[in-house]
Amino acid sequence: MRRYNYQAHALIEVLHTVQESFGYLDEDALKFVATALHVPPSRLYGVSTFYNFFSLKPQGVHTCVVCLGTACYVKGSAQVLAAIETCAGIKPGETTPDKQFSLLKARCIGCCAIAPAVVYDGVVAGNQTPKQAVERIGGILSHGA
Amino acid sequence: MVREDLTAIAEKERAARKPMRVRCCMAAGCLSSRSAEIKTALEKAVNDNGMTERVEVGRVGCMGLCGQGPLVGVDPEGLLYEHVTPENAPSIVTAFTRNEAEASRGDLSHPFFTSQVPVVLAHCGRVDPERIEEYIEAGGYSALHHVLFEMEPAQVIEAIAKSGLRGRGGAGYPTGLKWATVAKSTGAHKYVICNGDEGDPGAFMDRSVLESDPHAVIEGMAIAGRAVGADQGFIYVRAEYPLAISRLQIAIRQSKQHGLLGAGIFESTFNFNVDVRIGAGAFVCGEETALMASIEGKRGQPRPRPPFPAEHGLWGNPTLINNVETFANIAPIINRGPDWYASLGTEKSKGTKVFSLTGKIRNTGLIEVPMGMTIRKIVEELGGGAPDGGTVKAVQTGGPSGGCIPAAHFDTPVDYESLVNLGSIMGSGGLVVMDEHTNMVELARFYMQFCMEESCGKCIPCRVGTVEMYQLLTRLVTHQATSHDLAQLEELCDLVKNTSLCGLGQTAPNPVLSTLRYFRNEYLELLQPEAMSTR
């Protein structure tokens, strides 16, 4: 916040930094940011819920983002997602009860040439099939247990 | 930094060049298929074969044919290797002296390469995006120098207007006219914004340009700043593009160190700064007023226009907003002249356009072609048609705001007006190809779900209308709809299109309308038969 000179318009930048450091936006962090930037907490809450990128809930140790952009959709990303849902037993936006694994979906990550794309723990993997994805997820789940 | 320093950097860079250069694609597509390991393997192979004197291994941006990646290019021969792996990379190096490389060789005489006219992508896949020296060596920042010392701001605007360049973000507003409006507006400050919130799923032109040639965008913004009298620029990039963000930040830092951004650029009195602003995953932020709200740290909700940003933009000041590709066109126009640029393309749509070819097509990747090329040529000659002997049924342009163009209309030239006549839009340049297995109604539903989830909720037609249309489409897909539902869907499309506040709502029905127009039989097939007979 100091880098942005405590200006209220740096709010989104600050929230990015908070999420990067803590993995999600918790209530204490939001209150702290609101006080420091002199922004009402209501607006802060509005901003952090408006944007898909911010998460108010803690994420699992491992994350998996399935791209649902058009190119990935045409190439069958819906089947990949369905396979992962069945395998992990959670829906997009949820985390497994043991806090090991979070499943998320994205609106195009810009890797359309290698569709369908899935991001495992921040690393993009292209040309995914449901079988490949389930193997990866199976590995992550058993590793976490 | 003065003109001589620029030349000196370029000459030093040229002198340091080795006779042979191996170019490794390190844009997001190839990076995800281990191109970093490939680069290490290539460097090791050069070292092991004692060729470090003659051969250098460089990192470059996107080479276009992303579907066949990871790609490795070899100069001066101009060879291109496809599907390279860290295991067969060393054979590329040994092939310099003997044997054939194990990696498969790309065919550079294919129309995919020969039909392209690179202007925006001229440096992509050639220069190292993380080294300003290579951009300067390729003639970079000389246009900015020319604008500062040889031209009046009004002449710059005149040149851009004369070139016929139109906004590459989708709507195609004449760039020169926009610049002139901002230049005429008065305000304490003026701002230049580069819209890099490439939200259309299926489009990745801006990502590739930002990852492969970030300095071209920065130079274009600085020229725009000079022309309209702005001293601060913002590049708004999606958070989904971490590589583009980091390369931009590196590029901005290097430009500042070299006195090409900041106070007194080229030791003139012109000051211009650029800051990166990171989006947070909201499609509507591609709309210019929503984007400005987001830069101001608010929820990205659009507001009614007028007043247009050119008069009342960021913090109430005159603001120029252009797309990434538009800014990347500026330096080439200044360098080679507006007449050269105007000689490319068609009567009303000048120059070239970058498209990302994706979906059911053999050559997926990034292409830049002159405006006016037919869709058939792009899809069949450059793209190589559908893979595995399938037939191409339609292409979708313009993302969730655009429409589907059926194969019967593939002889239409690609320009702003022709696409609008077909019920689609140019959009930012995503071309998603569909084959006979794609169900058009499901596709329309997919886009409607997208618009429904991304609607900011400010105006009612969009907030409620998209949900209603999505439910009607769901009924259709699940074989529950009647002809009455179809009529209601069409009525809603018309309503949402004409009464929504911003571009998102106004164009949300487009995928439905265009598929209804060309693939109505697919909708009719899904209707309940008894319901049809009662009418």
pLDDT in tens, B451-470: 999 999 999 999 999 999 99
* Chain B residue numbers touching A71 (CB-CB < 8 A): 201-202, 358-359, 364, 430, 432
A35 lies in a domain? yes
CA dihedral B201, B204, B206, B212 (to 10 degrees): 160
Judge if A22 and A81 occupy the same domain. Answer: no
Residue A97 lies in a domain: yes
- Quick one: average pLDDT of B21-43? 92
The contacts of residue B534 (CB under 8 Å, 6+ apart) are none
Going by C-beta distance under 8 Å and a sequence separation of 6 or more, which residues neighbour residue B495?
A: B461, B465
Q: How far is B359 from chain A (nearest CA, A)?
A: 5
User: Does residue A15 sit in the same domain as residue A82?
Assistant: no
What is the distance of C-alpha B283 from the center of its chain?
15
pLDDT value of residue A144: 53
The answer on A125 and A100 residing in a single domain is yes
Domains in chain B (CATH in brackets) are 14-107 (3.40.30.10), 139-342 (3.40.50.11540), 352-435 (3.10.20.600), 441-534 (1.20.1440.230)
How far is B190 from B229, CA to CA, in rounded Å?
Answer: 7
Chain B residue nearest residue A107, CA to CA: B201
For B174-194, write each residue's pLDDT tens digit: 999 999 999 999 988 999 999
Whether the complex's predicted ipTM is more than 0.90 is answered with no
CB B349 within 8 A of CB B161: no
Q: Are residues A80 and A19 in the same domain?
A: no
Nearest chain A Cα distance for residue B280, angstroms? 5
Give CA–CA dist B379/B433, Å, rounded.
8
Would you say residue B414 has pLDDT above 60? yes
Token digits of residue B235? 């590049």
Nearest-by-CA chain A residue for B440: A74
pLDDT in tens, B293-312: 999 999 999 999 889 999 99
The domain tally of chain A equals 2
Task: Looking at the structure, tell me whether residues A30 and A90 fall in a common domain.
Answer: no
Q: Which residues contact B343 (CB under 8 A, 6 or more apart)?
A: none
**Residues in chain A within 8 Å Cβ distance of B399:** 70
Residues A66 and A31 placed together within one structural domain of the fold:
no
- Over residues A96-143, the pLDDT tens digits come to 888 889 898 888 887 888 889 999 988 888 889 999 999 998 888 886
Question: A72 and A109: one domain?
Answer: yes
Q: Which of B46, B318, B278 is nearest to B179 (CA)?
A: B318
Structural domain including A38 reads 8-50
The pLDDT score that the predictor gives to residue B97 is 86
Q: Is B385 helix (H, G, I), strand (E, B) or coil?
A: coil
Average pLDDT over residues B477-484: 93
Please tell me whether residues A75 and A132 are part of one structural domain: yes
Q: Record the tokens describing residue B379, joined without a space.
A: 């899809």
What confidence score (pLDDT) does residue B251 get? 97
Chain B contact probe: residue of A25, A72, A108, A120 with most B CBs at under 10 A: A108
Residue B107 has pLDDT above 80, yes or no: yes
Note whether residue A36 is domain-resident: yes
| Chain A CB contacts of B443 below 8 Å | 73-74
Name the minimum distance, in Å, from the CA of A113 to any CA of chain B.
5
Structure tokens at B158: 């005149």
Q: Are residue A22 and residue A67 in the same domain, yes or no?
A: no
A16 and A42, same domain (yes or no): yes
